[in-house]
């Protein structure tokens, strides 16, 4: 029987356990050029483990794709050394690291996009926010992407994927979740287009297909993952039939034979409250449509992670909050050791304090 600490092959890689570091926006780049900081390399290196998988926080593919001040991006040469340091830090511990690529779409502000209006599939009013030097502010009015602009955005995904490869990463994950651009194309609450990218789900998933194909052209399918959030509410996203929509998405992605499908479960609604009444969507309807490895994420503890893997509804579990304060989380989970409480106030922005200064269990015992 599979368990949280049994080996598994994910795409091109053999992993020794199934505890994954989830991508988390931590807002620690050096400004004004979004250069990965030394503390970011420290953070990812500390959380690496032999045979484990880490997914680096959403990395914007262009200046117009940015949503949050201090968030990661990779679109100019000045960022290369910083990202190489992150990859090297993970590899030094024997781990694997994928870079998550993102376009924020309408969830942005002109201060973050170089002065241009945020882009979206369609103009649909929403209550989104962006983070600027003035803090979280309402997103700027967005405009619909012109048909002839789409190939250029897809090319930005391809170039970013190549940059990640050149920096020494092991693969890339397409961020198709949480109400950002790819998700905005998929769901009919935000996609009102009447051309080849709107209307029926076959058209609304076209942007996703083209982005995935761009990443595969660089990496091959077995080094590409995709993250989705079928029940997500962030960014005022909605769909008239999410089960049908995301079942189709899963089936499409299965056809590419990508490394994994990363599913955010509907158990966390933006706070620390577990909504136990929401069953994992991986088990409820996605598993029959995607035959490759599924990573489940969203409010899991040790027992919950073990249970979903033993049941066979997911193959790996991504942890976020608990990984922030426990750099040796796989070790602690395997040996059922107490966890250091996370510090929510340090999640978004700041310095090394409560970010890269948490001790391992053994270090804490010595201290």
Q: Active-site positions?
A: 180
CB 205 within 8 A of CB 289: no
Kindly report the backbone phi and psi dihedral angles of residue 301, in degrees, each rounded to the nearest multiple of 5, phi listed first.
-110, -175
Measured in whole angstroms, the distance separating CA 184 from the mean position of its chain's CA atoms is: 15
342: left (phi over 0), alpha (psi -120 to 50) or beta: beta
Q: Pull the structure tokens for residue 72.
A: 């990661």
Q: What residues pair up with 144 in beta bridges, in sequence order?
A: 120
3-state SS, residue 275: coil
Kind and range of the H or E run holding 15: strand 13-15
Write the CB contacts of 269 (distance below 8 Å, at least 6 apart in sequence): 233, 275
Cα(85)–Cα(173) distance, rounded to whole angstroms? 19
């Amino acid at each position: 029987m599979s368990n949280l600490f049994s080996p598994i092959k994910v795409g091109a890689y053999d992993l020794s356990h199934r505890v994954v570091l989830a991508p988390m926006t931590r807002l620690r780049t050096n400004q004004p050029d979004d250069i990965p900081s030394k503390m970011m390399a420290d953070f990812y290196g500390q959380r690496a483990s032999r045979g484990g998988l880490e997914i680096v926080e959403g990395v914007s593919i262009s200046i117009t794709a940015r949503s949050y001040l201090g968030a990661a991006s990779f679109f100019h040469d000045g960022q290369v050394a910083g990202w190489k340091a992150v990859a090297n830090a993970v590899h030094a511990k024997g781990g694997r690291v994928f870079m998550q690529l993102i376009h924020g779409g309408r969830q942005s502000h002109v201060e973050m996009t170089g002065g241009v209006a945020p882009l979206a599939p369609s103009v649909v009013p929403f209550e989104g926010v962006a983070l600027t030097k003035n803090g979280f502010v309402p997103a700027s009015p967005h405009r619909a992407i012109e048909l002839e602009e789409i190939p250029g955005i897809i090319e930005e995904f391809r170039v970013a994927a190549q940059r990640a490869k050149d920096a020494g990463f092991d693969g890339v994950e397409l961020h198709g979740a949480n109400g950002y651009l790819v998700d905005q194309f998929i769901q009919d609450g935000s996609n009102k287009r009447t051309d080849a990218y709107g209307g029926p789900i076959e058209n609304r998933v076209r942007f996703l297909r083209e982005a995935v194909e761009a990443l595969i052209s660089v990496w091959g399918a077995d080094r590409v993952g995709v993250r989705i959030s079928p029940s997500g509410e962030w960014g005022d996203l909605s769909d008239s039939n999410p089960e049908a929509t995301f079942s189709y998405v899963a089936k499409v992605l299965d056809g590419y034979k990508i490394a994994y499908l990363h599913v955010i479960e509907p158990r966390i609604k933006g706070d620390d409250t577990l909504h136990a009444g929401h069953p994992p969507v991986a088990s409820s309807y996605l598993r029959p449509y995607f035959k490759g490895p599924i990573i489940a994420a969203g409010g899991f503890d040790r027992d919950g992670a073990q249970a979903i893997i033993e049941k066979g509804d997911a193959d790996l579990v991504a942890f976020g909050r608990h990984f922030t304060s426990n750099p040796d989380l796989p070790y602690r989970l395997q040996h059922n050791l107490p966890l250091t409480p996370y510090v929510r106030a340090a999640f978004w922005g700041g310095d090394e304090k409560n970010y890269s200064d948490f001790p391992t269990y053994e270090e804490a015992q010595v201290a």
